[in-house]
């Protein structure tokens, strides 16, 4: 399973890259706004800065919701760097845009996916990645992980090559469960990735090893 970090924060992206486990980055308009990035030129420069930091795919989301607008924005984004993946919402014009980008060798990430039916449409349009939002499904008391499992079964059965990118990850257990459910990629906040490190027995064991080493060195 690939690891993407789900942020537009350059320090966090650099820290994740430095760990040696990073395969890419996802952003969205809310994450860009959280970093105070606004205005076309600043947004473009920020994507360029992210691409410089990372070895892997960088999802950049279109703002337009009509076909022509998405194509215009997506083509401009794709020209910034080979790493750019154009992130397109799961709406009717979005499906058409994904088909267009696929036919023109531009990688896509179909976002705001909440059902298996939407997952089938995105795969039929040739999306590179599909982003089902686990946390937001859980937020309304449905089962986000069940959705990943269902899509994973359908894609395997039907031979779709679109990669399942588990998104809206809220904690380390989501990452483990998404891996079990068949996600190809997990995009996570850095805190959830670092949370995977934690186990009290590791801390206790290390403290004991170091104490014993200290005793035997005296
Ligand atoms: C990533 O591609 C998504 O935009 C993101 O994971 C959404 O996460 P959220 O539901 O925590 O906002």
Domains and CATH numbers, the chain: 2-217 (3.20.20.70)
Distance CA 218, CA 216 (A): 6
Q: Which of 198, 191, 196, 197 is nearest to 7 (CA)?
A: 191
pLDDT in tens, 142-162: 999 999 999 999 999 999 999
pLDDT of res. 218: 79
Closest Cα to atom 10, ligand 1: which residue?
168
Distance 69 CA to ligand 1 centre (A): 23
**CB-count exposure of residue 81 (10 Å: 0-12, 13-18, 19+):** middle
φ, ψ for residue 69, nearest 5 deg: -65, -45
pLDDT in tens, 153-191: 999 999 999 999 999 999 999 999 999 999 999 999 999
Q: Which of 95, 73, 72, 67 is nearest to 29 (CA)?
A: 73
CB atoms within 10 A of CB 75: 14
Nearest ligand 1 atom, CA 30: 12
Closest Cα to atom 12, ligand 1: which residue?
168
Could you list the active site residues?
87
């Amino acid at each position: 399973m690939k690891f993407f970090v789900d942020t537009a924060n350059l320090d966090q992206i650099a820290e994740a890259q430095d760990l040696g486990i990073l395969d890419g980055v996802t952003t969205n308009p809310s994450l860009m706004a959280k970093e105070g990035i606004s205005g076309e030129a600043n947004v473009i420069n920020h994507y360029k800065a992210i691409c410089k930091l990372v070895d892997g795919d960088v999802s950049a989301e279109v703002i337009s919701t009509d076909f022509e607008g998405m194509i215009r924005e997506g083509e401009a984004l794709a020209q910034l760097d080979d790493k750019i993946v154009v992130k397109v919402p799961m709406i009717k014009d979005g499906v058409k845009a994904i088909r267009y980008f696929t036919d023109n060798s531009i990688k896509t990430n179909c976002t705001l996916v909440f059902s298996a039916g939407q997952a089938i449409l995105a795969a039929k349009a040739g999306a590179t990645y599909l982003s089902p939002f686990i946390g937001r499904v859980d937020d309304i008391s449905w089962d986000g992980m069940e959705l990943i499992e269902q899509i994973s079964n359908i894609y395997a059965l039907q031979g779709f090559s679109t990669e399942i990118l588990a998104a809206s990850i809220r904690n380390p257990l989501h990452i483990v469960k998404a891996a079990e459910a068949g996600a190809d990629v997990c995009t996570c906040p850095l805190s959830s990735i670092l949370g995977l490190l934690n186990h009290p027995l590791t801390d206790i064991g290390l403290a004991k090893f170091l104490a014993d080493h200290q005793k035997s060195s005296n």
